[in-house]
Amino acid sequence: MTELKYLLFLGCVIPYRLPSFEISTRRVLDKLGVELVEMPEFNCCGFPLDPVNHDMMLTLAARNLCLAEQQNLNIITLCNGCFGILNHVNKELKEDKKIKEKVNGYLKEIGMEFKGTITVKHLIHVLAEDVGFEKIKETVQKPLNQLRVAQHSGCHVVRPAKYIGFEDPENPTTLKKLIQVTGAKCLDYMDEPECCGAPIVGVNDKIPLQLAREKLDHIKAVGAQAMITCCPYCHIMYDLNQPRIERAFNEKFGIPVLHYPQLLGLAMGIAPEELALKDLRVDATKILNICS
Amino acid sequence: MAKIEKTPETKASEKMVVKSNEMDPRFKYEISEIPGAEKVMLCFQCGTCTADCPISRFDEFYRPRKLIRMTQLGLKDKLLSNDVIWLCSTCFTCIDHCPQDVGIASIVRALRNLTVERGRMPGIYKEQASNILKTGYAYVISDLRLKKRQEKGLPSLPKANLEGVAKLFDVTGFSKTLEKGEDAK
């Protein structure tokens, strides 16, 4: 059996804007017997630097991977962006000698070396693959049978398939299955694998809002009572930005957006206060009423 | 009978006319040396990337197919001064759907990197890069937020090794690029 012990790579955006994701994840993983080890130090995964300097991104990501190698622990990330970058760089450096040499040349200057001894997993991969659906099911005490939700896995946990290969990017089912374990019904809707647009916020704000609005429209059309995400950036687009989208397009959604561990936590019978449900921008009271 | 709307003809000044003296035949080789962009010459212009691109649906200028063709033709100056390249949201749909495995998003990344080397960088990236240099993180996380973490019972956020991060900015040559960068859109 795989030892359920991981080094938590928290990333920047979760401590900056979404402690609710961290709080609910810690609570739920504790209940599942997953041990999280804190990183003694880390830096940004490198994601925001790829567009401006690829080598800089590779090196910053590799530095984090080296820190994990020193601890001899596999990494768990909660953010799709961190996962996408760290997993990609880890695999690329393991496979491509030339790039590894180049990056190690940079790292040598700070007394570090990438060896390629660990793996990187996202929360949903750890839950589906290492913890397993059976074990999760055992912890569900209050099945959410009355709840109908829609999932949004986001991009960097499924694409590009060449570096992730965990599931079919055209029809990602991991998050769906994780939702079904809680007893909630996961509804299909149009263009499920579509991007939230968050990575270009700051360069262009109009397009991401249009993309997010379209997704909320599709979700509303199938009658979902809530949306479930597993990435902080996607969550910001649909939850924090939902009132802004409603104003900009003169539409009303009122769709609560929950981090997956918040949904699982409710099914486990954990009190809503312990899952930081009050931190959500879109009021989730109606979800709590359906669940109780 | 339904009225057929006639599309207004594009003005000659708006059409992109390709002039031979603007083409740098070496550019495609330069690009294909960059990791991830090796297969730029394999693109046969089927347009799958543009058809499946979420950004192209909402922007009338962002067309990945066109960016790849311009790269093949060597329209270097046009590409590296065009703010449209900053619209890719890196959803990687184009990479997964390309029948020739061209790695379109990686080529767009290569074009962005070259633009930055020339001294043009969107303000948001400059800001995040400076944040990383100052704090180790892409955002400046205020003392208030750090205090709130404690109140919520979360472990304190470790301080990043700023010396190490700064050294890496220097050895990759990125520090210098960051200094000279003027703001793109």
Which ipTM did the prediction report?
A: 0.95
Same domain, B94 and B78: yes
Instruction: Examine the domain organization and report whether B142 and B62 are in the same domain.
Output: no
Q: Inform me whether the C-beta atom of residue B182 falls under 8 Å from chain A C-beta atoms.
A: no
Q: What is the pTM of this model?
A: 0.95
Nearest-by-Cβ selection for B157 from A15, A52, A204: A15
**Res. B15 pLDDT band, cuts 50 70 90:** confident
Residue A233 C-alpha, separation from nearest chain B C-alpha, in angstroms = 12
User: B11 lies in a domain?
Assistant: no
d(CA A243, CA A216): 12
A254-292 pLDDT, tens per residue? 999 999 999 999 999 999 999 999 999 999 999 999 988
- For A203, which of B86, B91, B171 is closest by C-beta distance? B86
Transcribe A236-249 into DSSP letters: IIIIITHHHHHHHH
In the block, which residue shows the tokens 């303000």? B123
- What would the pLDDT profile of B139-149 be if each residue is shown by its tens digit? 999 999 999 99
Same domain, A148 and A118: no
A129: in domain:
no
Residue B1 has pLDDT above 50, yes or no: no
Q: What is the pLDDT of residue B2?
A: 47
The verdict on a CB contact (< 8 Å) between B138 and A109 is: no
Is the pLDDT at A7 greater than 70, yes or no? yes
**Cβ neighbours for A135, distance < 8 A, ≥ 6 positions apart:** A32
Cα distances from A129 to residues A24, A126, A182, B79, in angstroms, run: 20, 5, 17, 43
Number of domains in chain A: 2
The whole-angstrom distance between A74's CA and the closest CA on chain B is: 19
Window 64-83 of B, Cβ < 8 Å to A? none
User: What's the residue count for chain A?
Assistant: 292
Query: Which residue matches tokens 């599942």?
Result: A32
Task: Say if residue B90 is in the same domain as residue B173.
Answer: no
What pLDDT, on the 0 to 100 scale, is given for residue B5?
A: 52
Is there a single domain that holds both residue B98 and residue B27?
yes
Residue B159 is nearest to which of A41, A63, A200, comparing CB atoms?
A41
Q: What is the pLDDT of residue A5?
A: 98
Residue B44 in contact with partner chain A when CB distance is under 8 A:
no
| A106/B contact by beta carbon, under 8 A | yes
Do residues A147 and A284 both lie within one domain? yes
CATH number where A240 lies: 3.40.50.11810
In contact, A147 and A291? CB cutoff 8 Å: yes
Contacts of A153 in chain B (CB under 8 A): none
CA separation (Å) from A47 to A53, A68, A151, B71? 10, 18, 24, 25
Q: Do B95 and A162 touch (CB under 8 A)?
A: yes
Q: Where are the beta strands (DSSP E) in chain A?
A: 5-9, 35-38, 75-77, 120-122, 148-152, 185-186, 226-229, 257-259
Examine the domain organization and report whether A24 and A154 are in the same domain.
no
Do A148 and A10 sit in the same domain of this protein?
no
Domain assignment present for residue B185? The answer is yes
Domain hosting B180: range is: 121-185
Q: What residues make up the domain containing A244?
A: 140-291
Q: How many contacts (CB atoms, under 8 Å) link A and B? A: 173
Residue B9 belongs to a domain: no
pLDDT of residue A286: 94
- If asked whether residues B39 and B68 sit together in one domain, one would say yes
Whether the CB of B185 is below 8 Å from some CB of chain A: the reply is yes
Out of B98, B118, B138, pick the residue that ends a domain. B118
Alpha-carbon distance B1 to nearest alpha carbon in chain A (angstroms): 32
Q: What is the largest CA-CA distance in chain A?
A: 57
Contact of A15 with chain B, judged by CB distance below 8 Å, is answered with yes
Domain co-membership, A201 together with A168: yes
pLDDT value at residue A159: 96
- A53 shares a domain with A191: no
Does one domain contain both B114 and B128? no
